[in-house]
Amino acid sequence: LITEDNKIKVLVVSTNRTAQPVIVMPFGPALVAEAVRKAGHEVSFIDLMLYNNFQGELIRRLEAFDPDVVGLSIRNIDNNDMKNARALTADAVNIAEMIIRRSRARLVLGGAAVSIMPYELLHLTGARIACVGRGEKVMPEILEKIQNEEGFENVEGAAWMDGKIFHINREKIAGGTRNASHPDVTAWMDLKFYTGRMATYPIQTKTDCPFDCIYCTYPITESKNYLLDRPKNVVEAVKALCKKGVKDFEFVDNVFNSPYEHAMDLCEEITLSGLRARFHAVSLNPAYIDKELIGAMSKANFKSAGITAESASDDMLRNLGKQYGRKDLINSAQAVAEGNIPCLWMFMLGGPGETKQTVNETLEFAQKYIKPSDTAFFNVGIRVYPGTEIGKLAKEEKLFDDETFTALKPQFYFSRQLDRGWLTEKLGDAKERNLNFIDSDSLSFPHLTDLNRLGRSLGFTPPLWKNARFLRRSLRAVGLQA
Ligand code: B12
């Protein structure tokens, strides 16, 4: 594809239309759009979340803009819910087919789902090129290769089809600290639409993950070496966003509080800056939670934190590949109890070796140590992604019929030593007695999207789960099952 002025017309499409448990901003695709614009190309952006008739809207854009390349962002494979499993790639696959049919554009796939399952998604969509890494770096390189009609062998973070042969070249991250400032991508997003629905603004302070949890996709998609942002640069970005009216920032790092010192420095930098925004962290690892961290987060004005505990049984924590034990959970609970940050404790039940006894240990921990004003979320079954350690275990244990085990079809690990009926009853009973306990039924609650919107318009601030007790009590009072 040779253009006269070296400019390529690129349409970036965010396909995510999932609004549960909460709507999320198209931050990744926006970063890609901004990087491609900075590389000198002509960019158009469409967020399909914004339109009811999203297909019609996309056709109109394709006709009006007539792109040379379409970058298709696919975030979610499925909803990670064994009971109400929903595959979420079907829309994106239909959209890709439509783009191939209706335009002359080359299709490049990207997004979290694509990084996990590039082959499957290339195969299903009919696209030939995918980005399996940080799109802001990889996409401009892919475009350069397309422009020069060269192969992608030297592009780290690209995957492609060569005839029927699949190639993949993962990014190699050496780790360390990067000094890049955070680009302003607000021009690509309808901030008002999102914040009006309880969405927070995603901020990344690092990439990659050194841990080896057996079920996780990070060992496949990311390196083990943290690439850290300087806290000063993060705070600069937050400051600029505050000026644009953003009030809630969510740290979307794989693990917020590791490295511990980096999180502490960040909190201190925020406090020193005098910013009065509200902060949230998706994921704290119990191995690195203490009074000092919670104190520093409180001072920086954190208004919520997720704690990915997963289990409170030492046996299960070991089986899941965790490097902490029940003792660390108890210490974390004590540190959190002394602070004032609402916490969401997350557990997964049914992993390898799970028995009635280990389930009881977890439920007993939640009841005894989690403050009733905090929330505990219990997920049942573990989504098995091919290439993960738990995937190998499932294969060894012949858990799935090989013929039906296709990567995109949600399949879940559930311990053979545990009866599903017993667990459902046990969890139902625990939920009945503890209004701050929620499970996947709460996340797929049909009115959750409306609740987020209504809550926001009534002045509630994110996240909605802070109000789990109040909401469950109110919904029950009007006869709804919650
Ligand atoms: C933070 C987070 C959340 C937060 C989001 C908060 C917020 N304010 O945004 C919360 C808790 C709400 C959440 C919810 C869910 N999440 Co989540 N989440 C994450 C997490 C940890 C980070 C996401 C993030 O913001 N990353 C930073 C941005 C910059 O990265 P990115 O969006 O991936 O974009 C980069 C690349 O993908 C690529 N890229 C993206 N688009 C494009 C397009 C093109 C053309 C190109 C070339 C490249 C490209 O370049 C981008 C820039 O580097 C990821 C794990 C991970 N490390 O990816 C899981 C992850 C994305 N979530 C996942 C899932 C499943 C969900 C839920 C469905 C779970 C559930 N049942 O509740 C929901 C869905 C929510 C929704 N409405 O879509 C999965 C998705 C894949 C899958 N397994 O299906 C992931 C990958 C976790 C996992 N390993 O399984 N999530």
- The 3-class secondary structure across the chain, one letter per residue, is CCCCCCCCEEEEEECCCCCCCCCCCCHHHHHHHHHHHHCCCEEEEEEHHHCCCHHHHHHHHHHHHCCCEEEEECCCCECCCCCCCCECCHHHHHHHHHHHHHCCCEEEEECHHHHHCHHHHHHHHCCCEEECCCHHHHHHHHHHHHHCCCCCCCCCCEEEEECCEEEEECCCCCCEEECCCCCCCHHHCCHHHHHCCCCCEEECCEECCCCCCCCCCHHHHCCCCCEEECHHHHHHHHHHHHHCCCCEEEECCCCCCCCHHHHHHHHHHHHHHCCCCEEEEEEECHHHCCHHHHHHHHHCCEEEEEEEEECCCHHHHHHCCCCCCHHHHHHHHHHHHHCCCCEEEEEEECCCCCCHHHHHHHHHHHHHHCCCCCEEEEEECEECCCCCHHHHHHHHCCCCCHHHCCCCCCCEECCCCCCHHHHHHHHHHHHHHCCCEEEHHHHCCCCHHHHHHHHHHCCCCCCHHHHHHHHHHHHHHCCCCC
Give the ligand 1 atom nearest the CA of 254: 21
Q: Which residues form ligand 1's pocket by a CB distance below 6 Å?
A: 12, 16, 18-19, 21-25, 27-29, 31-32, 71-73, 75-81, 108, 110-113, 115-116, 131, 134-136, 139, 200, 202, 204, 217, 250, 252, 254, 282, 443
Ligand 1 pocket: which of 16, 32, 50, 76 to mutate (most atoms within 8 A of CB): 76
- Measured by CA distance, the residue closest to atom 19 of ligand 1 is 252
Which ligand 1 atom is the nearest neighbour of the CA of 18?
A: 77
Count of Cβ atoms closer than 10 Å to residue 153 Cβ: 11
Q: How far is the CA of 24 from the centre of ligand 1 (A)?
A: 9
| Ligand 1 centre distance from Cα of residue 271 (Å) | 28
Residue 19: Cβ within 10 Å count: 16
Quick one: pLDDT at residue 1?
63
Question: In angstroms, what CA-CA distances link 337 with 25, 109, 161, 289?
Answer: 31, 44, 53, 12
Task: For residue 27, report the distance from its CA to the centre of ligand 1, in Å.
Answer: 9
Q: What pLDDT is recorded for position 187? A: 96
Residues 6+ apart with CB under 8 A from 53: none
Phi then psi dihedrals of residue 29, to 5 deg: -60, -35
- Cβ atoms of 161 and 128 closer than 8 Å: yes
Contact at 8 Å (CB) between 41 and 100? no
Q: Which atom of ligand 1 is nearest to the CA of 25?
A: 9
CA distance 326 to 248: 32
Q: Which residue has the tokens 């996309």?
A: 58
Distance 252 CA to ligand 1 centre (A): 9
What is d(CA 132, CA 167) in angstroms, rounded to the nearest whole number? 11
- pLDDT score of 401: 77
Chain-centre distance of CA 360, in angstroms?
Answer: 29
d(CA 28, CA 76): 12
Closest ligand 1 atom, residue 21 Cα: 72
Which pLDDT score is estimated for 135? Answer: 98
Q: Residue 258, Cα to own-chain centre: how many angstroms?
A: 17
Whats the size of the chain, residue-wise? Answer: 482
Q: Any residues with CB less than 8 A from the CB of 470 and at least 6 apart, and which?
A: none
Q: Please state, for a pLDDT cut of 70, what percent of the chain lies above it.
A: 98
Residue whose CA lies nearest to ligand 1 atom number 37: 111
Q: How far is CA 179 from CA 137, 202, 234, 289, 309, in A?
A: 15, 19, 10, 27, 32
Distance, in Å, from the CA atom of 11 to the CA atom of 23, rounded to the nearest integer, reads: 22
Q: What are phi and psi of 267, to 5 degrees?
A: -60, -45
Return the ligand 1 atom nearest residue 207 CA. 57
- Using CA positions, which residue lies closest to atom 2 of ligand 1? 252
Residue identifier of the C-alpha nearest atom 80 of ligand 1: 76
Render pLDDT for 293-314 as a digit per residue (tens, 0 to 9).
999 999 999 999 999 999 999 9
Ligand 1 atom nearest 22 alpha carbon? 77
The greatest distance separating any two alpha carbons of the chain, rounded to the nearest whole angstrom, comes to 69
Instruction: Kindly give the confidence (pLDDT) of every residue in the chain, 482 residues in length, as a single tens digit, with 9 standing for 90 and above.
Output: 656 677 999 999 999 999 989 999 999 999 999 999 999 999 999 999 999 999 999 999 999 999 999 999 999 999 999 998 888 998 899 999 999 999 999 999 999 999 999 999 999 999 999 999 999 999 999 999 999 999 999 999 999 999 999 999 999 999 999 988 899 999 999 999 999 999 999 999 999 999 999 999 999 999 999 999 999 999 999 999 999 999 999 999 999 999 999 999 999 999 999 998 999 999 999 999 999 999 999 999 999 999 999 999 999 999 999 999 999 999 999 999 999 999 999 999 999 999 999 999 999 999 999 999 999 999 999 999 988 999 999 999 999 876 566 777 889 999 999 999 999 999 999 999 999 999 998 887 878 888 888 999 989 999 999 888 988 898 888 888 88
Structure tokens, 395: 């294969």
Report how far ligand 1's centroid is from the alpha carbon of 407 (Å): 18
Question: Looking at ligand 1, which atom is closest to the CA of residue 76?
Answer: 84
CA 112–ligand 1 middle distance (angstroms): 6
* pLDDT score at 372: 94
For ligand 1, atom 5, the nearest C-alpha belongs to 24
Give residue for tokens 């390898």.
Answer: 352
How far away, in angstroms, is 81 Cα from ligand 1 center?
16
Closest ligand 1 atom, CA of 81?
71
CA of 143 to the centre of ligand 1 (A): 23
Is-contact 273 304, C-beta < 8 A?
A: no
